[in-house]
Structure 1
Amino acid sequence: MLTRRRFIAASALALAAGRAAAQELVSAEAPLIEDPGPLRLNIGPQAVQASLTLPPDFDGDYEIPDRFRARVVQVAPGLVPNDIHIVPQSHYLYFILPGDYAIRYGVAVGTEGLGWHGQAVIGRKVEWPSWRPTDEMIDRNPDRYAKYADGMPGGPDNPLGARALYFFQGERDTAIRVHGTVDPTSIGHNASNGCFRMYNSHVIDLYDRVPLGARAYAY
């Protein structure tokens, strides 16, 4: 349970050490990212949200549940703008804004045993990405994935959806992505092979905001 004492401790750590603290916390329990406490500035999340153009509450014809609509929220102090923080337990992804705010999006995360945790850098961004299942996916479920061993071109039927952000560690592609989906009902669930799915409208919005070289943390 997240107590006020734990929030103060996490906030002080983030403020003192910035990214170094976030990197240290990746292997431990997820830190407190979202801060529902008293506003620290005269301007609140609703005013910040009003100054931005966020994606609509529909993804195509699908009405996004209220909990997973894109919203501006207050976050713990000291988090670095343009970084991404993913908290699988709550199925939220946070894109950090200046002033201790973030845009919060809903995500789908890996099924049991397939979740990814760690730190990476956004090393590549692709519109309407092509897709190839990993060798591990083909070995694990050849009936489902072997037919895609030569890859699948990008498009509205591609499981990576409209956009993809590629996680790199050094020069190595981790095979983990933040990407869109052909199944909007999966958002908010443990449903992927390890990547992080978003509504297509949300991943397009995130794609346009996040720069190459931004850091991503998954807890």
Structure 2
Amino acid sequence: MTIALDATLSRRTLLAGLASTSALLLAGCATTARPSAPVEPLRPIVPPDVAMMYGPLPLEDFPIPAADVSLMAPRFWRQEVENITGQPQHTVVVDTANFVLYWTMPNGRAMRYGVGLGRAGFEWSGEGHIAYKRKWPVWTPPAEMILRQPEIEKYRHGQPPGLDNALGARALYIHQGQKDTLYRIHGTMDVPTIGKAVSSGCVRLLFHDVIDLHDRVIPGSKIVVI
């Protein structure tokens, strides 16, 4: 009887010990678990040739720093591609659905740039032409923009050129016939806004890209915004 009782007690003790151990393990899981930290999106590795393309431009009238293009998707980096626009050479084509701009070239090729576009209510589409272009332009905001943003009243007669100028390093002016549309293709230093709709209607390229485009475009060239 004593041996049987001891065996029974031993089994009970073992089972109780296992139950306690399990409870401790479960308690340990409950107390040591931590909510997952938000995972930041991985930045693309920028190849050396792309980094060089967006490197500093110290010889500009206002020296331009390098652009950190790891902050935007690689598809928005400047590159020569096949001309898929259906437009003849020497045409600016803005594909608003994909946030890219093409400058069509000979032999079925095109230079493609990532762009930022106008937010809802400020979009523009249609056909026109590049009437003229400017290096380090003066920005004069339209009167209706000043009404919406009274803080820019100080620029009613023009914002001087510079890195902080709203048009940036270069501007291309879009006309329809003899009429100024008031829409521009111009520069920005705000890399994360490329590929987004946040502006007051203008088409914005990184400084490096708008300089490249400016040097290619011929005044009078057709522009198509789709």
Is TM > 0.5 for Structure 1 vs Structure 2? yes
User: In structure 2, how many angstroms separate the alpha carbons of the residues matched to 1:77 and 1:133?
Assistant: 32
- Identify the residue that residue 214 of structure 2 maps to in structure 1: 207
- Identify the residue that residue 187 of structure 1 maps to in structure 2: 194
1:198-217 Cα distance to aligned partner (Å, 9 max, x none): 00010000001010110001
Select the structure that is richer in helix.
Answer: 2
The farther-off stretch of 60-69 and 158-167 is 60-69
Contact 1:77/1:100 (<8 A) preserved: no
Q: Which has the higher contact order (CA 8 A, sep 6+)?
A: 1
- Identify the residue that residue 56 of structure 1 maps to in structure 2: 53
The amino acid of 2:178's aligned partner reads E
RMSD over aligned Cα, in angstroms? 1.6
- Identify the residue that residue 7 of structure 2 maps to in structure 1: none
1:130 aligns with 2:138: yes
Relative to 1, partners in 2 of residues 1:188 and 1:76: Cα closer, same or farther, differing over 3 Å? Answer: closer
Contact 1:125/1:165 (<8 A) preserved: yes
User: In structure 1, how many angstroms separate the alpha carbons of the residues matched to 2:125 and 2:193?
Assistant: 20
1:84 aligned residue (84, 88, 92): 92
1:101 aligns with 2:106: no
Contact 1:165/1:178 (<8 A) preserved: yes
- Identify the residue that residue 121 of structure 1 maps to in structure 2: 129
1:146 aligns with 2:143: no
Relative to 1, partners in 2 of residues 1:110 and 1:116: Cα closer, same or farther, differing over 3 Å? Answer: same
1:156 aligns with 2:163: yes
Relative to 1, partners in 2 of residues 1:77 and 1:89: Cα closer, same or farther, differing over 3 Å? Answer: closer
1:170-202 Cα distance to aligned partner (Å, 9 max, x none): 121111110001423221110111110000010
Contact 2:139/2:159 (<8 A) preserved: yes
The amino acid of 1:192's aligned partner reads S
Q: CA deviation at 1:58?
A: 4.5
Contact 1:79/1:100 (<8 A) preserved: no
User: In structure 1, how many angstroms separate the alpha carbons of the residues matched to 2:66 and 2:107?
Assistant: 34
Report the TM-score when normalising by structure 1: 0.70
User: In structure 2, how many angstroms separate the alpha carbons of the residues matched to 1:197 and 1:206?
Assistant: 11
User: In structure 2, how many angstroms separate the alpha carbons of the residues matched to 1:96 and 1:105?
Assistant: 12
1:4-38 Cα distance to aligned partner (Å, 9 max, x none): xxxxxxxxxxxxxxxxxxxxxxxxxxxxxxxxxxx
- Identify the residue that residue 49 of structure 1 maps to in structure 2: none
- Identify the residue that residue 225 of structure 2 maps to in structure 1: 218
1:64-99 Cα distance to aligned partner (Å, 9 max, x none): 231211111112375211100001111100000112
Report the TM-score when normalising by structure 2: 0.68
- State which structure, 1 or 2, has the greater radius of gyration over its C-alpha atoms: 2
Unmatched tracts of structure 2, length 5 or more: 1-51, 57-64
User: In structure 1, how many angstroms separate the alpha carbons of the residues matched to 2:84 and 2:136?
Assistant: 34
User: In structure 2, how many angstroms separate the alpha carbons of the residues matched to 1:116 and 1:159?
Assistant: 19
3-state DSSP of counterpart to 2:104: strand
The amino acid of 1:56's aligned partner reads M
The amino acid of 1:67's aligned partner reads R
